[in-house]
Structure 1
């Protein structure tokens, strides 16, 4: 450690004067490739998709001669069709074959075959395309088709409420497609309590025992007033739509997988926000974001997968949660992910992954290293957490993209917590938080960085800037929380070189990794890139 002999005491702009630095080198010997957590997959397996899976768009059209075409734009159809029940044909039909169902209290009617009406209960029994409109203040639509049947439900201005259970139930079918007609507004509201609360009974406002797809350019509001919002006991594809879910318990659940292709899904849930649940079958239990916009506010975990959680494109925003993102394997290949959590932000844990022998890795605690990974190959990941920021109970690797952690201020957690090996081989990493549990990249990392530990915390909103020997700023970071420790790694930092650290100055952005100048900044000291010190972490969580 080397400190400048003179430290300025004048405070200018956002600078913090008189802060001493305990600067440990960030070691980066060029050695082996990144650990298991940083392997880049180029094919989809159990939800691990190609990094460019959303690069091309396909437009599907409902056919009716040359008129009345409806369209929906989805992500790369080839990759998705290989791993889900969904393909282009799901959004292709002849409008002349539609069966019109008009919902009305005591006078529901159907203009075609395949539909029976019993009071305010509508039952669809055969494959086909059914256009629903109107409202039922206390009714139900049931799909009870053959096990090889594909049923399309076009919601074209539907308001459906049940006082006894779920208003829209798929009991049997091969696939069920809920298509939201362009410009339409639709609402599903379930009962406050269900008449049938047995184990296998429906427990969500939209409940399907078959593969379920939601598509179309209309809007859908789902009110889960008793339990869950949307549940598929098979696969779930969210292809499009403007969908709002408000649920007492879990917001959206898919058993075998969830694929978010497009649209906007805004979920508020008292339990988990959105999750896949099948941890027992190989190749199941994954959740991949190929595109679209997902916003989650949850009373428990925000975004969760039983096996693999992947973000390839689009945006994922968790505004409130206990654990922000959780799965045994978490892969960020692209897109923009922002996570806010009261406990761990991004947590590789859960599932049925087995542990291996050992006493933990670079500061991750005394527990054995598990078969868990976090991999960031691209995109932007921003974490604001009261618990650990980026946490893996196994390995973690960063090879691209930007990772920003506004971690805990308490000493019992750290911005980074990895039981196994943490490798940084590319991208930009700024992990800020408390100093007591600070974890740094391991020796196998091929990209260098610096580790800064401040004698006094740097207040939120204060720029921390790193300059090379020529006075050029090579790293600027503005935290949203008080910072006692900062790990900063980027391609601009070379192992063995000496850098000067400043607080204050000017920056182009008010938070996160940014660009800046040293005008009015306070000089704190120097650090040599290439050496890290590891703290003993809090262990597996």
Structure 2
């Protein structure tokens, strides 16, 4: 866990540097101290000769050992110890009511339990409980649509009122017909296992926390799939995932935490709310991943198909590694306060908006965003025409931006670009590639942008160290028609094939040297390999010369 925080902190410092405007927020590690105090290594080590053997036989049970009895169709465990359980209960409960201050281990060795009365596994009282899934076994738990026993808070097929651990290499199948599938009123730690939950409401819930270190998960939820919702203790209500394979389908949120979500590994396929094209009623939440406070993600692979935001934080969102594929009916990545993205490969196939926050920090990586509205949107006051202090910092990376009816980069405040490449297609409406209320300081990097004939067209600001050119064409150009800028030697600075009809072109490069003479051409042919329409190398020929210009100022404007 310490290595994750080290990577996270170093990533933020290197990306934001010493900018006063972009606050560096160091994550707290307080939330993890509770978990470290709760578990010990000896919890996972025991000798076979201490196991108490239980074979369930529907209306009876064979029991070898003390601290356990069978009565009225229920198996009751009343003392700490290690219990190996196999067999079947067609209508009964496994109940843990341990008065001791040591661990209760439940070794599930091929168990099938159904309860019409309440939870099929009810952990009422214990210091802590380990549910161990024996390798090579399948363990099934199910419940009824209505519970007769709810006075103890039972609302899940497997319900615990204490800290609970799930481990082992076996299979756990949970079918919840009442409400939740696997739920702990305290904290829940999952170390391993093949876990399938089909729940009427939440699939897996740990009120204080959910920590997952590995395993395979197939979760279907009528509510949220993974949830932690303690709203009282600021150090609780969090979800941490270090590894695992996740296939999640939720009517509500895929992963939802009141406090924070920390992901440092794993492969995810999350579908929320029926997917990006589904109708989402007002007031409903169907986000892929969300938290009230911070969200930190370094996933191996993450596929998100959501009716609502794909990843959302009501405070700070950090995406610091991994490969992401997103389809969403709202924002792809949203942080109310800040959004930091670095060392990722992100493909947004469809979204209303792509990156949104008050402060947006973008570092090394590849980011391809296709949106209905703004691709990148920084604001603290929605739709303000004044400088609201919001900021977009682009330090590195390749950004490929497309929008049909929004701005490609929209800041209600300022923009600073000190490296990287922005390739911008569109929009076809009256929106623009660059829209900012404050300043756009272009320090270094490359901007290649085709756009509309809007009167609101903007190039980077005149305070920029690097030169730019803004070209307006009197006649529109069809998608696919090449545009080329070459120097006096005939060397190409840029050859670009826009994917959307265009009336304008914005270009910023260190090669636009002051006093240099340049030629603008359209059409023609190019031989080379393109990156989303941009030919970094290649031979351009047979184009039609539209005009020439000399760079005498930071911003050159042409009407051709």
TM bracket, shorter-chain basis: 0.5 to 0.7
| 1:260 aligns to 2:260 (yes or no) | no
Match of residue 336, structure 1, among 294, 301, 317:
301
User: Distance between the aligned counterparts of 2:522 and 2:112, measured in 1?
Assistant: 60
Matches within 5 A, 1:362-511: 372-408=315-351, 414-419=374-379, 420-426=390-396, 429-430=399-400, 432-436=402-406, 438-440=408-410, 443-444=415-416, 446-450=418-422, 452-456=424-428, 496=510
Are the aligned partners of 1:33 and 1:445 in contact in 2 as well (CA < 8 Å)?
Answer: no
Do the aligned partners of residues 390 and 96 (structure 1) sit closer, same or farther apart at CA in structure 2, a change above 3 Å counting? same
Q: How far does residue 96 in structure 1 lie from its aligned partner after superposition?
A: 0.8
Matched with 1:345 is 310
Do the aligned partners of residues 398 and 408 (structure 1) sit closer, same or farther apart at CA in structure 2, a change above 3 Å counting? closer
Q: How far does residue 265 in structure 1 lie from its aligned partner after superposition?
A: 1.1
| 1:275 aligns to 2:227 (yes or no) | yes
Matched with 1:170 is 123
Do the aligned partners of residues 399 and 187 (structure 1) sit closer, same or farther apart at CA in structure 2, a change above 3 Å counting? same
User: Distance between the aligned counterparts of 1:323 and 1:303, measured in 2?
Assistant: 8
SS of the residue aligned with 1:46? helix
* CA-to-aligned-CA distance 1:50-72 (integer Å, 9 cap, x gap): xxxxxxxxxxxxxxxxxxxxxxx
Matched with 1:121 is 74
* CA-to-aligned-CA distance 1:384-411 (integer Å, 9 cap, x gap): 1111111121111123222332333698
Larger radius of gyration: 2
Matches within 5 A, 1:277-356: 277-321=229-273, 322-327=286-291, 328-349=293-314
Unmatched tracts of structure 1, length 5 or more: 1-27, 48-79, 350-371, 485-492, 532-541
> Larger strand proportion, structure 1 or 2?
2
SS of the residue aligned with 1:344? coil
Q: How far does residue 288 in structure 1 lie from its aligned partner after superposition?
A: 1.2
Matched with 2:441 is none
Are the aligned partners of 1:29 and 1:446 in contact in 2 as well (CA < 8 Å)?
Answer: no
| 1:35 aligns to 2:22 (yes or no) | yes
SS of the residue aligned with 2:106? strand
User: Distance between the aligned counterparts of 2:180 and 2:106, measured in 1?
Assistant: 21
Q: How far does residue 145 in structure 1 lie from its aligned partner after superposition?
A: 0.7
Are the aligned partners of 1:237 and 1:258 in contact in 2 as well (CA < 8 Å)?
Answer: yes
SS of the residue aligned with 1:106? coil
Do the aligned partners of residues 477 and 136 (structure 1) sit closer, same or farther apart at CA in structure 2, a change above 3 Å counting? farther
Q: How far does residue 507 in structure 1 lie from its aligned partner after superposition?
A: 9.1
Match of residue 251, structure 1, among 203, 214, 217:
203
SS of the residue aligned with 2:426? strand
Q: How far does residue 181 in structure 1 lie from its aligned partner after superposition?
A: 0.1
Q: How far does residue 335 in structure 1 lie from its aligned partner after superposition?
A: 2.5
Do the aligned partners of residues 333 and 29 (structure 1) sit closer, same or farther apart at CA in structure 2, a change above 3 Å counting? closer
User: Distance between the aligned counterparts of 1:259 and 1:398, measured in 2?
Assistant: 24
Matched with 1:105 is 58
Are the aligned partners of 2:240 and 2:261 in contact in 1 as well (CA < 8 Å)?
Answer: yes
Do the aligned partners of residues 443 and 414 (structure 1) sit closer, same or farther apart at CA in structure 2, a change above 3 Å counting? closer
| 1:230 aligns to 2:202 (yes or no) | no
SS of the residue aligned with 2:290? strand
Are the aligned partners of 1:466 and 1:500 in contact in 2 as well (CA < 8 Å)?
Answer: yes
State which drifts further: 395-404 or 80-89.
Answer: 80-89
SS of the residue aligned with 1:189? strand
Q: How far does residue 39 in structure 1 lie from its aligned partner after superposition?
A: 5.0
Do the aligned partners of residues 519 and 166 (structure 1) sit closer, same or farther apart at CA in structure 2, a change above 3 Å counting? farther
* CA-to-aligned-CA distance 1:30-78 (integer Å, 9 cap, x gap): 9717834x7575x73436xxxxxxxxxxxxxxxxxxxxxxxxxxxxxxx
What's the TM-score once normalised by structure 1's chain length? 0.67
Unmatched tracts of structure 2, length 5 or more: 1-14, 274-285, 354-370, 380-389, 430-449, 451-478, 513-519, 547-553, 556-560
User: Distance between the aligned counterparts of 2:535 and 2:136, measured in 1?
Assistant: 42
User: Distance between the aligned counterparts of 1:417 and 1:436, measured in 2?
Assistant: 10
User: Distance between the aligned counterparts of 1:307 and 1:158, measured in 2?
Assistant: 35
Do the aligned partners of residues 375 and 476 (structure 1) sit closer, same or farther apart at CA in structure 2, a change above 3 Å counting? farther
Number of aligned residue pairs: give it.
Answer: 426
Q: How far does residue 251 in structure 1 lie from its aligned partner after superposition?
A: 0.8
Matched with 1:14 is none
Matched with 1:95 is 48
User: Distance between the aligned counterparts of 2:136 and 2:123, measured in 1?
Assistant: 25
Q: How far does residue 456 in structure 1 lie from its aligned partner after superposition?
A: 4.5
User: Distance between the aligned counterparts of 1:275 and 1:142, measured in 2?
Assistant: 24
Matched with 1:23 is none
User: Distance between the aligned counterparts of 1:483 and 1:91, measured in 2?
Assistant: 63
User: Distance between the aligned counterparts of 1:443 and 1:303, measured in 2?
Assistant: 32
Q: How far does residue 135 in structure 1 lie from its aligned partner after superposition?
A: 0.6
User: Distance between the aligned counterparts of 2:425 and 2:394, measured in 1?
Assistant: 19
Are the aligned partners of 2:401 and 2:424 in contact in 1 as well (CA < 8 Å)?
Answer: no
